[in-house]
Structure formats: C-alpha cells, structure tokens
Amino acid sequence: MELELSDFFSEIYEKDEKGIPQFKILSGGKWYFPDNGKFIDVVSPIDNSVIARISEAENKDADKVLEDAAAARPLIRRLPAIERMDAMVRASSLLEQQFKSMQNSIVVNNGKTLADAAGEITSTMHRLTLVFEEARKIFGDYLPGDWAEENIGKYALVIREPVGVVLAIAPFNYPLFITFTKAIPALLAGNSVIIKPPSADPIPALLMAEIMIKAGIPPPSLSTITGRGSIGSYMARHSTVDVLTFTGSTGIGKKLSEISGIKKIHLELGGKGVAIVLSDADLETAASKVLAGALKNAGQRCDAISRVLVQSEVASRFGELLKSGIRDWTAGDPRDVKSKIGPLIDGSAVERVMRLIDDAVRKGAKLASGGKSRGNFVEPTLLLDVPLNADVMWEETFGPVVPVSVFKTVDDAIEIANKSEYGLDSAVFTKSFHLAWKVSKRLEVGEVTVNNSPAHGVGFFPFGGVKESGLGREGIGYSIDEFTNMKTIVFDTSAARIWQLEEQGKDAEHAEKAR
C-alpha cells in the first residue's frame, strides 16, 4: 500500500531509507521535524501496512506551537476580510488541482471508498467557496438607544471579533472535511488556528494545511501538530488556547471539557441516530434511505442511522425490503469502484461492532444478513426484531449495522427514541405532515430529517447535538458564533450635543459683538 503524493507537497515530508514518507509539523510558518526524532506509524486499514509516519510531538513542541500561534494572532486579524475570503477560494481551486493526491490519501489512510473520498473532497471545496455567504454573519448590528428612557441620546454597535487562538481536534471518520469545517470559519473570522489531526489518519489534514498556506493564509496563522492523544489534552488545558473545538467520542469530549478551564468550547460528540418508520410511510423510499444512512462510510458517521424503529403494521414488509436492498451494499477493497463499503478504521473498531452484533443475536435478534468480519472489514449486517435490551440499540455503533426494532404507537416510538443519552440526529418517515411535525417537535435531538436519512453535508443547514451529543452548532454562518466574541460599543451623543450648543452660543455672542 502506497501514498501517491504530487510534488506540490514535497516540503511537508521526507522519505526514509525504505521510501516511507515521514511527515513534519507546521508552526511559525515552517514545516519541520521535532528535535526528539520520534515517529508514529500510520497504518492503512485496508491491509494494516505502514504507509507513512508522523512526528510524535512532545509537550515542549506543543509549547512552541502555542507560542507561535499566539504571536501570529495579529497577522490574520489585520488581514482584510476580503483577502481571507479570496485565499479560501484559491484553496478550493488548489484542492481541485490536487484532487488525485487527496483522494488517494483518504482512501489509503482512512479506508473510504473512491466515491466517498471524492464526496468528502468536493464538500470541502464547496465549503471553501461558501465563505462569502458565511461572512454575512460577521457584519454586526446597530441598536438605537431611544427605546428606553435612560438610553436617550445613545446608540450602540454590536460587532464580532476574533477570539484569538483556536485549537481544533479532529476525528478520523472525515479527516479532511471535518478538520477544515473547523479551520475555515475560524480563519475567516481572523483567528490563529492549531490543528491536531486524528492519529489514525492524519495525512489528508496535513496535505490540506499545505494547500491553505499556498493559497495565501498567512503561514504563521495556521499550525499542525501530530502525536498521541495526550498532546491534544495538554494543549486543551493551556491558557493560550481561547477556543477548543472537538469532534469525537462523548467520553473524550467530557474529559476535554473538564480540563480545558475557562474558554469557549464547541463539542460535537457521539450520536445514536434513530429512524422512525410509520405505517403510512413510503416503505420503498424509507428502506433505501435507511440503508444509505446506516451503511455509508461503513457506518462510521456521527449522523448515521444506527437504530430503526418500525411500526408493527408494516414491520414484516419493511424487513423484506431491507433484506433485498442490503444485497447491493458490497464490502470490499475501497480502491475498487464496485465496493460501496470499505474497512473500519482499525481492529478495535471491528471488535466493538462484532460485540454489539453478537450481543443482539444472543438476546433474540434475527440475523437477516451479514454478521461476519474479515480483517478490518465487517459485512453489512441487518438485524431484525432486535429487543430493546440489546446494547446495539443504545451504544454508538460506528459500523455497518442496521438494527430494527418494532413499536406499536407513535408515542411508543418517541419514548424509546428519547431514552437515549444521545441527541444528535434522527429521521422520521411518514406521508402525514401532522405526524412528521408531532414526532419532530418531540424528539430530543439537534436535527430531524423528514423522509430521508440525516446528512450534514456541506453544512448549509446548522447542526449539533443536545444531551450527551455535544455543545454548540456548526454550519454556514453558524460556526462563526463559536469562533468570535461579541463586543458592544456604546456611543453617548448627549455630550456632543451639549458641546455643539455651546459652540453655537459662542458664535452667536461673537456675531453680536461684531455688530
């Protein structure tokens, strides 16, 4: 297994004696190796071969990155906003030019299929070109004061300013897109950004950082640091960091929240997306959308459908449609265009998913399809009549599993759905607007999709979780809120008016003397 990198990226790595690329870290506008000379193997989930090595930064390296990021704050803040936006558009163009290298890095490093990798790149390109839309959220407000008696003669401007240094800790499942849906709005708002890529698949983020620099983002304003998870924790608690933005597991998110101190925190954490299929739904459409929502990217998505509740009257028919449709979801080498599902990220992910499948079957679920693993590949698996005490109905799956349970009434479905500790995404399938509205209003989640599977996409619609699924919102125009501080500037015109009257009085006195 080999990474195919163009000469465009030659500055960010060096090959060792075996031809394996060893990647540097970026800080202070330069790519360099930490002094310790230590590296971490980067393994392809396709065949577990070593495809690269990343620098294993230590705390002293993190201190330098933090110091450089803080010193760079004025550079990006003073850069006119239009120049920041132009740099983003150039970055989109450069990313398109480096499409092949980026696609290869995602497929080989993450295990995504060719189609899914292409989709991630395209979404990132679109995200970069939508910054002109996002910039509208930084315009601010004018507030007249004469709506309250004590504020007569006053007015205020409410503006948004960059927070300072943003630490972005990214997950493995979308190593390019999610990383830069954090970095793009943070840089657009005028912040200095430090990226801690996922250790499992850091290569796409490192490549994209070089694209951003060559597109015109002031080099010292964007940093990358690679290493163990402890490096992220060390930096999260540091006072230099003004904003911590993290996407990942709820457990790690809680730990980061506890240690980060008084700073702005944005967390997108675990999800247990439910699809509620009502008896009046278009069952063919619902089955197709449920399978896509559960199996795309091998189910390794925070917005994946990872449990399905179907009304008893249509449960049998719906189960047959799922059994028929899941045959089209072939698992195999992601470099093969026929494959729709690639491997999971590593062996521990496979063990977790297989444990959930085995637990469900042991407790009475019917294994209708799949249920086996090979290496890091898990067959697309359909479980019918899953009892509610099965772990797969409550734990985040992050694998290609479709667990289906039956309910009687709409109220039953809502009650089951809301018992989850998670609250990120859900879906409801029905032809009734009344029922769609009722279910959507009562589900305790951040986003509900009607008659389709949840998909955050480029982020045009805002998304984020409640309960154990996180804090804050992401999306075009909404992410800006996480990376800016609101400042109110109050102008009192009463003093100016008094001065003006005094001057008028003096002028009148001079005129009288002149006469």
Catalytic residues: 268, 302
- Cα–Cα separations (whole angstroms), residue 446 to 420, 434, 465, 470: 13, 20, 5, 10
DSSP codes, 174-222: STTHHHHHHHHHHHHTT-EEEEE--SSS-HHHHHHHHHHHHHT--GGGE
Nearest to 339 by CA among 103, 113, 120, 173: 113
Q: Return the DSSP state at 463.
A: B
From residue 84, alpha-carbon distances to 134, 163, 214, 241 in Å are 12, 16, 13, 22
CB 282 within 8 A of CB 451: yes
State phi, psi for 495 to the nearest 5 degrees. -65, -40
CA–CA dist 428, 450 (Å, integer): 5
48: left (phi over 0), alpha (psi -120 to 50) or beta: left
Q: Which of 132, 112, 98, 230 is nearest to 178 (CA)?
A: 112
Strands in 319-435 per DSSP E: 366-369, 373-374, 377-378, 381-384, 401-407, 425-429
Strand order in the sheet with 273-277: 366-369, 381-384, 401-407, 305-311, 273-277, 425-429, 447-450
Which amino acid is it at 226? Answer: T
Contact 109, 51 (CB under 8 A): yes
Interatomic CA distance for residues 145 and 161, integer angstroms: 22
The answer to whether 227 and 55 are in contact (CB under 8 A) is: yes
Among positive and negative, which fits the CA dihedral 310, 316, 321, 322? positive
Cβ pair 202, 226 in contact under 8 A = yes
